[in-house]
Structure 1
């Protein structure tokens, strides 16, 4: 059977293509700006095709910086994002597993107390959190960057809802076969949760990568700056002139890791969001 494609079909695709172009055009301009010289940017009209300074500008961006080289800031952002992501996923998996499969007094109360922490984001509790981290001597450290952000009520809620859909007969069969709680968790629940884990990995990695306020507060050593902080520090103060090609090159470099994570995990990410029959 040949499907008829009417005007609505083509209009839908035209609208999607137009939307992609509108979203991608600023990114294209940032890439072009990272490949030309400073006079070409400040002198209108701005070029729409890449220039011949790509290697020069990106080398300058990677190995120089206002307070620290960009490659080091990218490394710091990567450590922080991965630490937050893995920490959130591990803690959320274990807490959801305990709430669903262990019968103990007040387990529903504990779940709702965890869920209520959604009302207390980092910005609300930032002063007491800073006091705790400073008291523990964790300023200017990866542990200080990661530890206050590893708890996730949202991920705990999502894993709990998924575990509730797992048939009770599966847990009973594992118990009959002699599998303990952790064996059931690692051999059965964890493989079944891979699409959910992949979807949360993408979301949480981007969340960790884009953190600005918390790293800005607890890092005074330039070698611990993240790339998001570095981009802000590249903007001049007073009458200084911004080095726009280097700033744009740094922005493109900062955007690449999250984009690569989304591209590499897009299939699992979509399945984790829309798959309903577990």
Structure 2
């Protein structure tokens, strides 16, 4: 199984939207996909199922790792797409805990997920690079960093990448997939300039070619509890996230990770 943490230095950058629609793209491609809502706000669960607050989930497992994984798995309308909500214990005291405090339980959770036969696990993490988020990244195969395309936003990216490099000291095999530009407005000069500035600032292919546009469809999809690609007018968004999935798979393969296959194994 391949596990990918979706993390950002601050909130409001489109991290949850990216996580939901990436998971849907991987599931549509035939991979058994698990999307884990590790953000205490429970945004993934609230976007996909209105009953998420009543479900046991990731934080319940942190509080009691004896909970069977089957109790946490929430099927979706797509057979290959499964959700784990934040859970009823999402106010579990993790914010003030030092990095490493939850490492063993996060790794135990991922081992249980892999044993259940999933091909890929995407984890929507709390903002920041400390505490539980650091433990999730240090337990994952790869990390993706969504960042909104605006001048103030891109200033935090170098600090985020410095933090990821520090985490690689304890997890040398961590693959930094790069920065995913979100909320891109091609008709606005400031947005275009932010993307160009970040591409000039960072080396090589550290900024993904695929970019997520700012689109009212994402709000509409969330209101209906659906990935944006399944909306009647969501074909364009579907193509964007299919391109993102393909780019991520290519990066994983170039990094020496076992490539994902459509026969139900990774």
Structure showing the higher helix proportion among its residues:
1
Greater relative contact order, per chain length (Cα 8 Å cut-off, separation 6+): 1
What range is the shorter-chain TM-score in?
Answer: under 0.3
**Greater strand proportion:** 2
Rg larger in structure: 1
What's the TM-score, normalizing by structure 2? 0.24
